[in-house]
């Protein structure tokens, strides 16, 4: 493991819990403003009969925004750092104090927990929409469902990229082709390969522990690619203008 640079500093947003809380705190004001504006418009146009449907669409849209913010913040924290910085950053972002562990649990439980949460939430929403004719015929609902699935898929990929980075720095288990030391982009490449092809491609998985982690992402990717997207496409095909 290469030595950390003397002046290396850990970004404040490096811990998973902080990124999750920042994304949440940014989403809450947006939800309040959007809810007020939409409620005002519906009241002025005498369309209060649409309140329930609009609230559902707003909730899904805000979840998609939350997933998007979390993915963007994660990318911003890790993507420009060289190997030495990453090796210094990873141990420093592992929660050790009790308050940090509690915060991690309250915010969702860590990088791969976020991926599972995104997949399960997207699955539940798409199943509900696909089997509820009154909802799946609404264009706005279908659009926010698409946004939710896309951002959820992005969270799965980038969360596992962080997880592979942390596991490889701490315990090893991955061998990348070439002589350059792997950086975050390489781990994201691996996560995207597994999410799209269910294969680690030219990256060698050398330990049993890492194989279990790859298997976990493969199963989540299967749920996304074979179940969630299939149900969403079915809902789109069955939809008619509201």
Taking only the tens place, the pLDDT of each residue in 147-178 is 988 898 999 999 999 999 999 998 999 999 99
Q: Is 210 left (phi over 0), alpha (psi -120 to 50) or beta?
A: alpha
pLDDT tier at 69, thresholds 50, 70, 90: very high
Taking CA 163 as the corner, what is the angle to CA 162 and CA 168, rounded to the nearest 5 degrees? Answer: 100
Spatial distance between the Cα atoms of 163 and 214, rounded to a whole number of angstroms? 10
DSSP 82-124: -HHHHHHHHHHTS--SHHHHHHHHHHTSSHHHHHHHHHHHHHH
> Is the pLDDT at 109 greater than 50, yes or no?
no
- The confidence score (pLDDT) of residue 79 equals 92
Taking residues 26-47, what's their average pLDDT? 76
Average pLDDT rounded to a whole number, residues 46-65: 77
């Amino acid at each position: 493991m290469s030595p950390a640079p003397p002046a290396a500093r850990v970004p404040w947003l490096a811990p998973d819990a902080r990124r999750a809380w920042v994304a949440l705190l940014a989403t809450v004001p947006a939800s309040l403003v959007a809810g007020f504006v939409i409620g005002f418009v519906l009241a002025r146009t005498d369309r209060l009969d649409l309140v329930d449907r609009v609230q559902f669409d707003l909730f899904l849209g805000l979840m998609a925004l939350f997933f998007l913010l979390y993915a963007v913040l994660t990318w911003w924290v890790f993507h420009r750092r060289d190997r030495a910085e990453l090796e210094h950053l990873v141990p420093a972002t592992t929660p050790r104090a009790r308050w940090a562990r509690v915060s991690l649990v309250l915010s969702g439980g860590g990088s791969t927990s976020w991926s599972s949460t995104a997949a399960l939430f997207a699955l539940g929403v798409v199943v509900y929409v696909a089997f509820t004719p009154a909802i799946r015929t609404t264009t706005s609902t279908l659009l926010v469902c698409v946004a939710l699935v896309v951002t959820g898929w992005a969270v799965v990929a980038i969360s596992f990229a962080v997880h592979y980075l942390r596991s490889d720095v701490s315990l090893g288990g991955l061998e990348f082709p070439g002589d350059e030391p792997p950086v975050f982009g390489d781990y994201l490449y691996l996560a995207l390969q597994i999410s799209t092809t269910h294969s680690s491609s030219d990256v060698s998985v050398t330990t049993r522990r890492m194989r279990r982690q790859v298997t976990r992402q493969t199963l989540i990717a299967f749920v996304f690619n074979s179940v969630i997207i299939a149900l969403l496409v079915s809902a789109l095909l069955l939809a008619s203008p509201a």
